[in-house]
Amino acid sequence: MVANCAKFHYVAQGVTCNQITSYQHISLDDFVKWNPTVGSDCRSMQAGVNVCVGLIGGTTTTNPPTTTTTAGNGVQTPQPTQPGMVTNCKKFHWVAKGVTCDQIISYQKISLENFVKWNAGVGSDCRTMWAENNVCVGV
């Protein structure tokens, strides 16, 4: 782990690098750079330890702008979102490049049926989910 780490994430059993980078809104390249012991393919990451997910002075990768809109339910909706998301969403998940629907539903502990119902644009088989967008993971 780099010496100038300022933000940490505890690695639970079964959690993947892609899940952590998606949740923390960081790139996989930065994650591997900040945590070289995980290996370039992330196969050496171990459960039960903390990993670095932010540096003193910020990250080296620019994240998308964090604009929001207010839906009819009064909840601030982060942008951008994939078309087809329900308007009553209360909980969102940023989809990083390389993250799959299975990883999101596992991490968020929701069913595929609900995920597809809340995000019609991902398709019934989840093959049309867009990376670098927010999806609904709770209503």
Residue 79 shares a structural domain with residue 46: no
* Residue 109 forms part of a structural domain: yes
Structural contact between residues 87 and 118, judged by C-beta atoms closer than 8 angstroms = no
* Residue 73 forms part of a structural domain: yes
* Residue 60 forms part of a structural domain: no
Distance between CA atoms of residues 52 and 73, nearest Å: 35
Q: Is the dihedral of CA 53, 58, 63, 65 positive or negative?
A: positive
Which pLDDT score is estimated for 82? Answer: 86
Q: Which residues contact 114 (CB under 8 A, 6 or more apart)?
A: none
Distance between CA atoms of residues 16 and 107, nearest Å: 9
The residue segments making up the domain with residue 29 are: 5-55
Q: What count of residues does the chain have?
A: 139
Residue 77 shares a structural domain with residue 42: no
Please list the rounded mean pLDDT of every run of 10 residues in the chain (139 residues). 84 86 87 93 90 75 46 71 91 86 90 96 91 90
Residue 75 shares a structural domain with residue 132: yes
Our count of domains for the chain comes to: 2
